[in-house]
A and B are shown apart, each in its own frame.
Chain A
Amino acid sequence: MSRTITISPVTRIEGHAKITIQLDDAGTVVDARFHVNEFRGFEKFCEGRLMWEMGGITSRICGICPTSHLITSAKAGDAILAVEIPETAEKLRRLITLAQWIQSHTLSFFHLSSPDFLLGFDSDPARRNIFGLIEHDREFARRGIRLRKFGQEIIEVLGSRRIHTPWAVAGGVREPFDRSKRDYLLGWIPEARETARLALDTLKSIHTRFEHEIPNFGNFRSLHVGLVDREGGLEYYGGTLRVMDGAGNIIADRLDPKDYREHFGEATESWSYLKFPYYKPLGYQQGMYRVGPLARLNICDHIGTPLAELERKEFKAIAGDAGVVNNSFYFHYARLIELLFAVEQAELLLTDESILGTHVRSRAMINRDHGVGASEAPRGTLFHDYEVNQDGVLQKVDLVIATAQNNLAMNKTVQQLAMRYLDGTEISEGLLNRIEAGIRCFDPCLSCSTHAIGAMPLRVQLLGPGGRIIAERTR
C-alpha cells in the first residue's frame, strides 16, 4: 500500500505551492513533488499587444523582481530594433540590475533565511521570522533592513521619474543620471559593504553548527548554468552562457543567449503549472540544471571585484578537487558572496564618470522580427523571447524564469530531505521546517515563499490509496 503525504500552505489560495511525498508499501520515500499551482497565462495574454509595452507589462506581473523583467524585456527590445545601446545606458542598466540583486539577496538572507539559522530550524515558528530576529538581535536585523533599502533606493532614484514609469526601454533608458543623485547613492556604499560582510561572516559562523544538517539539503550532482563575461568572470547583465556538469567540467561555453532554445528544452507535467526546463543534449531528467547564485559561483573563473574574489576562492575550497559545489545549502553562501560583489561593483559603476553621460537612448524602428533578451536575475538566468510582425505587434512571447529552471532540482531537494527526516508516517514539525528551509535555499519566487515571512503556514495531509486522508496536521 502506498501513501502520499501532502504539505500545503493554507493562507494563500492563489500562487501557493504544496508538497506531496510518495511512500511505498514499506513506508520509504520513493518520490517527492513540489507542486506549483500558480497559473501564468500572461505569455498568451501578451500576444497581439505591442512590443513597446512589454517592459511595463512584465515588470508588473512579477512583483518580486520587476527590475529584472524590465531589463530583460528592454534587451529583447534592443534585439528587435537591432541597435547598440549607448555606453552610458548600458552602465545604468547594469547598476539597476545590481540594485535588484542587493535588495533581493538581502531579503532572502536577512528576512527569510537568517531566522532559521540564528534561532534554529526547530525554534518556535511563531518567532522564527524577521520579528523574532529583531527581538533576538536588533542591530543585525536593522542592518539587513537598511541594506535592502539601499537596493530599493538605487531603483527608486534611477527608475521612477514618476510612479510606475518603466525606465529601461528598447534602445536604452529613458533618462540620464545626475551628479547629485550619484553622490547620494555613493554615500551608502561604506555601510552597505560592511553589512554585506557581516552577513557573510554570520553565515560562515553557522556552517559548523549545522554540519550534520547540511549534507542532506539537496546535495546531488546536476548541471550548473548561467552567464559569464568575456573572460569567464561572474556576469549579471550581458555575456554568454556556460554549462558545467556536476563534476566541474565545462561542457558548453560561449553559447549565445539568443540561441537558448537550441540548447534548452521545456517539459511539462500534469501536476505542476511550472515548466521543467532541461539541457537538451542530455535529455529530460538527465539534463536537470541549477541556475542562480550557486550555479553562477560554480561556473565563473573569477569575480571582478577584490573582496568577493577572495570569498569565491574560499567558497571553492569546500568543493575540494572537484571544483564544483553541488550542495544546495550553499546557495545561501553563494548568494552572500554575490551580495558583496554587487555592492563592490555598484561602487565601481558609481565612481565611473561616464555613467553621467547624457546620451542614453538609441532610436530605431522594427528591424528584426525576433529578439531574445537574457540577464541574470537574482534567482538565475532570465530569458525574454519575443516574435513580432513588421509593425511591432507581438506574435509569440516566451518567458523562461529562474524558478522554473530550478524546478527539477527543487523536487530533488525535497525528496532528499524527506528521505532523511521522515520518520514512519508521522509528519513532524522538524520535517516541515527542513522542507521549508530546503525550498528556501533556492529562494523561489513563488508568492507563498516570500509572502509568508518566516515560517510558512502549512497543512499536512497523509493520504492513503484513493486519496483517503489518514492524518492531517495544520500549523
Chain B
Amino acid sequence: MLSVIRTIWNVFLHSFRRRVTIQYPDEKPYLTPRTRGRIILSRDPDGGERCVACHLCSAVCPVDCIALQATEDENGRRYPEFFRINFSRCIFCGLCEDACPTYAIQLTPDFEMSEHNRQNLVYEKQDLLISGPGKYTGYNFWRVSGVQIEGKDKGEAENEAPPTDVYRLTP
C-alpha cells in the first residue's frame, strides 16, 4: 500500500523535472562529432581522395561489409577503383576508422539512414565521398609517404633527404 503511494508521489514529482525526451524528428538532438553513424570517405586538404585503397578497413570490419578494389593513376597514386559499404550489415563499431592510416574513412553523427528497400543501403564510392577533410583537417598521407606521385618527386616528402647519388663513391 505504502509503496504504491510512494510510486504515485514519485511520478507526480517527475512532472516538475527537466524534460530529456526530445520531440524527434521535429526536434534534432545534439550529437558529438565522434558519434558513430553513417560512414563517409573524406578528402585531403588539397582536395584529393584520401583513401589509398590499403584494405585495412575491410580487413578489420567484423561483419565484412566493406569491399573495394585498388587501382593507380598514371602517376602512381593509388586509390579505390570502387568502394562499397553494405550498411544493412554495418554495426557502426568504428573499427574501420581506427584502422585507417589516412583518416579517409570516418563515422559521422548522421544516423538517419532508414530505407524501405534494403538494396538502397548499399553505398558506392560516389555516395560515400565528401568534398572536405571531415573531422581530421590537415593530414595528407601522400606528403608523408615515400612513394612518388604527381607533384611530389622523390625526396620531397616530409622529412626526406634528396635522392642519393648512386654514382657517389666517397663515404
Answer yes or no: are A and B bound together in one complex: no
Report A's interface with B, CB cutoff 8 A. none
